[in-house]
Structure 1
Amino acid sequence: MLNAMPFIELNYDDRQTLLSLCRESIRVRLLFDRDLNIDKTAFSPALQQTAACFVTLKIDGKLRGCIGSLEAHQPLVENAVHNAASAAVDDPRFPRLTLDEEAHIDIDISVLTTPIALEFDSEEALLEQLTPGKDGLIIESGHYRATFLPSVWNSLPGKAAFLAQLKEKAGIPQNIEPEKLTAWRYQTLSFSE
């Protein structure tokens, strides 16, 4: 059961450290066009845990960049620092963040639980397994793959719209047969400045 999936435990200091490092990572990338160098062993055991995260940048409440990892493959502190810089300069939906804009961004970090594969034989059966506002969703068909974080539920009217928009984002046909679609759900521990 997904609700039993443990979240990484991050205390207030861990969260503030990650947010500060993400901001510093963005500044270093914008000023020097390089990655922020960190020593993962200098941080708490919680931040050294292998975990996947997304870093979302907003200006005045509007999306300005979002990059993340769906699979845990490195320490959380390293993943967050990398994704923050990438969100500022590598999100193909937006031009590179400017130094003027950097002063106005809000940073949100979403740490993912391990995705759980969903079994379904119809779109309705897939949608029944999702809890709006709580579950993120990954879909895949062939080489096409995309995800929506749980926060995306706030901008869509319901489950059908959530899935339809995600299919569009992935480039997957709306009328795809269920057996040609693979899906996973996950949850996030999210925090922001």
Structure 2
Amino acid sequence: MLLTNSQKAELLKLAKASIQEGLKSGRPLQIDLQQYDPAITLKRASFVTLERGGQLRGCIGMLEAVRPLVEDIAENAFAAAFRDPRFPPLSETEYADLDVHISILSPAEAIDFVSEPDLIAQLQPGVDGLILREGYRRGTFLPSVWEQLPDPVQFLRHLKQKAGLPADYWSETLKIFRYRTEMFS
């Protein structure tokens, strides 16, 4: 489901309002579903990515749709600003030059493959977001990560490392899922 420009603008405004609420109260914005276009209250998974000066400042999201999209974005925007363990909580002074990017995820689909070369041949750089699962380990890269890692071999190696596995790890039990995103800022 593609969003209209006005729906995208409303979701960006919502993400920023949730961050502002976090700066004031320490909590995400509380959502009244009745105030929003029904199309953006459907259960959808999202990621909110924050950048300052072109550098990552926080990124939090959900891989599966578990709550209405407007709630997911409000919670993820707050979490990206204040709960991403890679960064200290966002300060008031950082807010002014914060860039907010939203990615709405399609449902993930398993990729069937018989070997690592087979998997790599099926990847669509710049299009696929990937989820890697091996036992209790899990990692994901949004499609936007292809901008930094355009080579499918390197993309997969770095994803394995993100999941806590060696870059050259391979197993018959490894599971890979793909999803697409609608990204806007």
What's the TM-score bracket when you normalise by the shorter of the two chains? over 0.9
Mapping of 1:3-152 within 5 angstroms?
Answer: 8-152=1-145
Note if contact 2:47-2:61 (Cα within 8 Å) is conserved in structure 1: yes
> d(CA) in 2 for partners of 1:9 and 1:151?
18
Structure 2: state its 5+ residue gaps: none
> d(CA) in 2 for partners of 1:144 and 1:150?
20
1:70 counterpart SS class: coil
Q: CA deviation at 1:38?
A: 1.4
- How many residues are matched? 185
> d(CA) in 2 for partners of 1:56 and 1:34?
18
Note if contact 1:122-1:178 (Cα within 8 Å) is conserved in structure 2: no
Q: CA deviation at 1:122?
A: 1.1
Amino acid at match of 2:99: D
2:44 counterpart SS class: coil
> d(CA) in 1 for partners of 2:120 and 2:18?
37
Higher alpha-carbon deviation: 118-127 or 68-77: 118-127
Q: CA deviation at 1:41?
A: 2.0
* Cα deviation code 1:66-109 (max 9, x no counterpart): 00000001111110010000000111111111111011110000
Task: Work out which of the residue numbers 163, 167, 178 in structure 1 matches 2:160.
Answer: 167
Note if contact 2:143-2:181 (Cα within 8 Å) is conserved in structure 1: yes
Higher alpha-carbon deviation: 34-43 or 144-153: 34-43
2:172 counterpart SS class: helix
Note if contact 2:50-2:80 (Cα within 8 Å) is conserved in structure 1: yes
* Cα deviation code 1:113-153 (max 9, x no counterpart): 00000111211111111110011000011111010000000
> d(CA) in 2 for partners of 1:40 and 1:56?
23
Point out 4+ residue stretches in structure 1 off by more than 6 angstroms. Answer: none
Amino acid at match of 1:106: D
Amino acid at match of 1:33: G
Note if contact 1:132-1:153 (Cα within 8 Å) is conserved in structure 2: yes
Answering whether residue 178 of structure 2 is matched by residue 185 of structure 1, we say: yes
> d(CA) in 1 for partners of 2:47 and 2:155?
19
Q: CA deviation at 1:177?
A: 2.8
Higher alpha-carbon deviation: 170-179 or 25-34: 170-179
> d(CA) in 2 for partners of 1:177 and 1:59?
36
Structure 1: state its 5+ residue gaps: 1-7
1:106 counterpart SS class: strand
> d(CA) in 2 for partners of 1:155 and 1:20?
28
Higher alpha-carbon deviation: 168-177 or 27-36: 168-177
RMSD: 1.0
Note if contact 2:157-2:168 (Cα within 8 Å) is conserved in structure 1: no
Amino acid at match of 1:77: V
